[in-house]
Structure 1
């Protein structure tokens, strides 16, 4: 945790904030901060700041804003859709999305066998905290929007998407290295990650009928979190 995440609702009119729980413990036990020391703070939607510690008690730390810092990271303005992954995989996806500042994430159960994953706390209540772990690592201040689409049809969602749709597939005809490198060029682009068992033949026929581009990250099978991190690397490196 390089940055302390403070939500705008936690900041008073005097530009002070009180943090408790894991954030307080991190400041005291990991960062070894004391009164009058400063910490780096990221406020989702507002930016990066330096705050001074004005008080430390047994269970909370009081912070006061002293300086606005330049934005440390330009977010990746892309959208991603996932075939409902295992909760442990989703944790990594949410962390990376928060770290890079994606615009939105969309989760669909494209297969019947994984619908029980919806009941996991990752999808019901923990997803925002997992995004915050990414923000606290990089200082990104853009909080991705997350959509749990339990009752929606994923194919209808793709056909109604207003921007371009790119399907991640090992045998895709377009290599990722040839994709436009500027993140700003991908503002309305949706990248679609399928189940780790692979797309069904009926899915490929659907993609072909919709003229969706299939993009390859390389001629190997990747687990979803590795494919996602590879995509982020390709887009972010420039």
Structure 2
């Protein structure tokens, strides 16, 4: 936790904040802050700030806003679709989305996926906490939109997407490593990650009918979280 993440509604009128949860424990036992020390704070959807420690007690830290600082980086203006991954994989995806600040995440169950994954707490109640861990790591202030298409048809979702669609595939026609598309041109671009077993023949025919472009990250099979991480790395680097 390099940054302390707080919500705007937690601020008092004097722009101070009282923390009594794991953030307090982190400030007190990991960062070992004392009164008058400074703490890096990210306020969700607001920006990056320096707060001063007013007091630290056994069960509470009180901080007050001192000044704003330049944004750590501009969020990645992309959208990503995932064929319902295992809950442990979803945790890593959510963390990375929070770290890089992408625009949105959508989870849908394609025909080959285990629908029981929907019952996991990661999809029902804990998902936002994993986004917070990513935001706290990098200082990203943008909270991605998240959609769980449990009762929606994934092909209809893709067909109605208003923008470019790139289907991630090991043997895709476009190579992310040589694609130099400016980030501001990716505002409405959706990157589609399929099952780790790969897209089936019917899926590929459907993509061809819609004239979607296929994109490769390299001629190796990657687990979903590593493929997602690779995409983010290449886009962020450019």
TM-score (norm 1): 0.98
Give distance in 2, aligned partners of 1:188 and 1:113: 26
Gap regions ≥5 residues in structure 2: none
Q: Is the 8 A contact 1:87 1:120 kept in 2?
A: yes
* Residue 144 (str. 1) matches residue 140 (str. 2): no
Question: 1:45 is matched with which residue?
Answer: 45
Give distance in 2, aligned partners of 1:18 and 1:114: 42
Give distance in 2, aligned partners of 1:45 and 1:206: 37
Give distance in 2, aligned partners of 1:79 and 1:56: 40
Instruction: For residues 41-61 of structure 1, give each alpha carbon's deviation from its aligned partner in whole angstroms, at most 9, with x where no partner exists.
Output: 000111000001112122221
Aligned pair count? 238
Q: Output the aligned Cα RMSD.
A: 0.9
Instruction: For residues 9-38 of structure 1, give each alpha carbon's deviation from its aligned partner in whole angstroms, at most 9, with x where no partner exists.
Output: 101111011112211111011101111111
Question: 1:227 is matched with which residue?
Answer: 227
Question: 2:201 is matched with which residue?
Answer: 201
Question: 2:118 is matched with which residue?
Answer: 118
**Structure 1 residue 105, shift from structure 2 partner:** 0.2
Q: Is the 8 A contact 2:98 2:133 kept in 1?
A: yes
**Structure 1 residue 94, shift from structure 2 partner:** 0.5
Q: Following TM superposition, where does structure 1 have runs of at least 4 consecutive aligned residues deviating by more than 4 angstroms?
A: none
Q: Is the 8 A contact 1:101 1:141 kept in 2?
A: yes
Superposition pairs of residues 118-197 of structure 1, within 5 angstroms: 118-197=118-197
Instruction: For residues 131-160 of structure 1, give each alpha carbon's deviation from its aligned partner in whole angstroms, at most 9, with x where no partner exists.
Output: 111111110111101111100000000010
Gap regions ≥5 residues in structure 1: none
Superposition pairs of residues 2-13 of structure 1, within 5 angstroms: 2-13=2-13
Give distance in 2, aligned partners of 1:113 and 1:214: 21
SS in 2 for 1:52: strand
Q: Call closer, same or farther: CA 1:95–1:44 in 2, change over 3 Å.
A: same
Give distance in 2, aligned partners of 1:100 and 1:60: 30
Give distance in 2, aligned partners of 1:13 and 1:228: 40
Q: Is the 8 A contact 1:76 1:184 kept in 2?
A: no
Q: Is the 8 A contact 2:84 2:113 kept in 1?
A: no
SS in 1 for 2:116: helix
* Residue 30 (str. 1) matches residue 30 (str. 2): yes
* Residue 87 (str. 1) matches residue 93 (str. 2): no
Give distance in 2, aligned partners of 1:38 and 1:175: 44
Question: 1:103 is matched with which residue?
Answer: 103
**Structure 1 residue 112, shift from structure 2 partner:** 5.0
Q: Which moved more, 1:1-10 or 1:56-65?
A: 56-65
Give distance in 2, aligned partners of 1:67 and 1:44: 16
Give distance in 2, aligned partners of 1:113 and 1:164: 25
